[in-house]
Amino acid sequence: MATAKQNAYRTKLIKLVHVARRELGLDEPTYRAILLAQGGQESLSSMPIDGMNKVLDYLKAQGFRLRKTSGDRKQATGVDARKVRALWLLLHELGAVRDPSEAALTAYVQRMTGVDDVQWMRGECYVASNPQKHWQARAELVIETLKKWGMRFLPGAIVQLKDEVHARHRQGLLTQEQRECARQAFERGLDPNVGFDAHNFVWDNLRAAVGRPFPPRSN
């Protein structure tokens, strides 16, 4: 039977995993896939403590950072903040960003907008390089810039991943669900004019088709 101390530690781990999920912007399928792959169960309630620690370690490797003191600035959990973090992790997955951590993202946001945390991306900032729209919403600026950065890498990465999907299909390694993801990816026509969102849709489906629902562990 678990002791009171073990139960308290277990409760703490559950809270931390939930915080990490929220801050990394994980949807339900991705979250469950991580629990199963790292902890051996699709639910925290049925997972042993060592499994929870493995899940938490994995989420830390993807950019989640523990706050050391209660006085630290609270991280934003709004839609824009989740988009920015998701784009940052995608760029890390594509090899464009070396450091996926929150600290590295904060430094990037500060360079772009003059504010020192994703939480403070509200309001507008002056963009000297844009003659048609000098003043732009900070969140919009960061998101658009990250998407443009992603488009330098996504088309080539998609070509490579399509080859991998073809190879796994020929070997009979795709499940029915993975074949459906592959179908959606291959049916979507892509050219530079369709933009980031269409490319990201294809990338996500190809990644699911090869069994990689979330960026791999960073070194």
Angle among Cα 131, 136, 138 to the nearest 5 degrees reads 140
Residue 205 lies in a domain: yes
| 194 and 134 both lie in a single domain | no
> Does 136 share its domain with 158?
no
Domain of 125 in residue numbering reads as 79-149
Q: Which of 61, 90, 106 is the last residue before a domain boundary?
A: 61
Residues 141 and 89 in one domain: yes
pLDDT at residue number 125: 46
Is the residue at 70 inside a domain? no
Distances (CA, A) of 1 to 10, 41, 43, 87, 170: 13, 20, 20, 43, 50
168 and 145 belong to one structural domain: no
Indicate whether 136 and 191 sit together in one domain.
Answer: no
119 occurs within a structural domain: yes
Residue 149: its pLDDT value, please? 95
Measured CA to CA, the distance from residue 86 to residue 79 in angstroms comes to 11
For the chain, the domain total comes to 3
Q: Please report whether residue 73 resides in a domain.
A: no
In a domain, 74, yes or no: no
Residue 131 within a domain? yes
**Residues 169 and 137 both lie in one domain:** no
Is 44 in the same domain as 17? yes
Same-domain status, 107 and 137: yes
- Tens digit of each residue's pLDDT, the chain (219 residues): 557 777 888 888 898 998 888 888 888 888 888 898 888 888 888 888 888 888 888 888 787 877 654 434 444 556 777 888 889 988 988 989 988 877 788 888 888 877 655 554 555 444 545 555 554 567 788 899 999 999 999 999 999 999 999 999 999 998 898 999 999 999 988 876 889 999 999 999 999 898 876 554 433
- 128 and 160 share a domain? no
Examine residue 193 and state whether it is found in any structural domain, yes or no. Answer: yes
Is 66 inside any structural domain?
no
Confidence (pLDDT) at 196: 93
Shared-domain flag, residues 133 and 177:
no
